[in-house]
Chains A and B, each alone.
Chain A
Amino acid sequence: MLAHYGYKDGSGEYFIVIDTDKCDGCEECVTACPYGVLEVGEDENDPFREEPVARVTEEHRKKIKYSCAPCKPASGRKPLPCREACSPGAISHSW
């Protein structure tokens, strides 16, 4: 499942996309994210899935434009820590 967390507002579209078929629940992204945007838990949208999966925390879902901003400077941008930490390549950002 491609789980889109985030929103669209007047300034643009901000979504973190987690491919739950690729995610193995290893929690590397949770450790890597400096702002606590990600967590690992039950798949809320697939009630019969037994394995835990990464998701964006409820707290950050409506403000990821700002939560993720420090990792996205206008220049000299390094690879995103969450994406780099994810070995199955399950995380992507829409902006």
Chain B
Amino acid sequence: MEKEYWRWPESRWTSPDIDWKDGDIISAGVDVGSVSSQAVVLVDGNLYAYSNFRTGSGSPESAQKVMDKALEETGLTLDKIHCIVGTGYGRVNVPFAQRAITEIACHARGANFMYGPTVRTILDMGGQDCKAIRCDGEGKVTNFLMNDKCAAGTGRGMEVFADLLSVPIEDLGRLSFEVDKEPEPVSSTCVIFAKSEAVGLLRKGWPKEKILAAYSSAMAYRVAKLLERIKIEKDFAITGGIAKNEGVVKRIEAELNIKALEPKHDTQIAGALGGALFAKALVEKERGLR
């Protein structure tokens, strides 16, 4: 079988320092996105376990799979989790979730936890959409904008380019800097246009690196324009899969003249993490603690 260059690494993680049996509130968030799904488990508000896998054709199955993966080898079972919140595109199809909350609210809350309370602007570059969110010191949304009509400036666009150029997706960022001079960006309005433009450039003899540079800057330009509408305030953080692509991240930073915070965890878990934090808050509310 031909190599699948777009395939990004899936992952799971468990904290070695926490025993869930000592926990008072165990909460979880499941983010079923268009391309990837994540589950995050918190024990008393501390990150205990997470998993990040590709979304399959069915949301309920994908939700079940990531949850199973997160709980793998922990001895923890679904019935011991006090509250589970579903988020993302498939949020209403998470069979074991008690509540569905939008990914906008969850990303703000998750980024507040991941990057600390100084975060004010979050750019979530998801599989098939792109969200610009402003929040306060508690991770409450104050302004948001979502572009899910078109896949330009999203992870899926990057997967298309990985395949087109036969470059593994993890290497795209690094390679995009191996150019003498930044080329003009390709079309930033549409992935299909960008791809056909890139095919033309390949025929003209452009090296892969130059095409990657041209596509990465088109992507950066596009999301920078979206961010300008909600106005950027420091500190700035990028979540989602594209946050792992330095080629796009550094170009966004240059475009906006602002530095993004360094991520402490897998940037793709922000939504599920926010869901788990909301789940904890819901348990506290139920118990009369808040």
Contact = CB atoms under 8 A, between A and B. Distances in A.
Interface stretch (B59-67, B140-148, B240-248): B140-148
Contacts of B141: 1, 45-46
A47 B144 contact: no
A7 B147 contact: yes
Interface in A64-93: none
Q: How many A residues are at the interface, by size bracket?
A: 10 to 19
B225 A1 contact: no
Nearest to A44: B102
Given A8-B147, A9-B189, A2 B105 contact: no
Q: How many B residues are at the interface, by size bracket?
A: 20 to 34
Q: Is the interface of B mostly helix, strand, loop or mixed?
A: mixed
Given A1-B144, A9-B189, A10-B190, A45 B102 contact: yes
A47 B144 CA distance: 15
Interface string B132-155: 000000001111111111100000
B93 to A, nearest CB: 15
A62 B149 contact: yes
A4 interface: yes
A46 B102 CA distance: 9
A10 B189 contact: yes
A45 B229 contact: no
A2 B149 CA distance: 20
Interface string B270-288: 0000000010010000000
B229 A4 contact: yes
A48 B142 CA distance: 14
A7 B230 contact: no
B229 A7 contact: no
Given A2-B230, A7-B150, A13-B229, A47 B105 contact: yes
Contacts of A10: 189-190
CB-based closest 4 A-B pairs: A7-B149, A4-B145, A10-B189, A2-B143
21 contacts: A3-B144, A4-B143, A4-B145, A7-B147, A7-B148, A7-B150, A8-B147, A8-B226, A9-B149, A10-B190, A15-B145, A15-B229, A44-B101, A44-B104, A45-B102, A46-B105, A46-B140, A46-B141, A47-B99, A47-B105, A48-B281
Interface of B: 99, 101-102, 104-105, 140-150, 189-190, 225-226, 229-230, 278, 281
Interface of A: 1-4, 7-10, 13, 15, 44-48, 62, 94
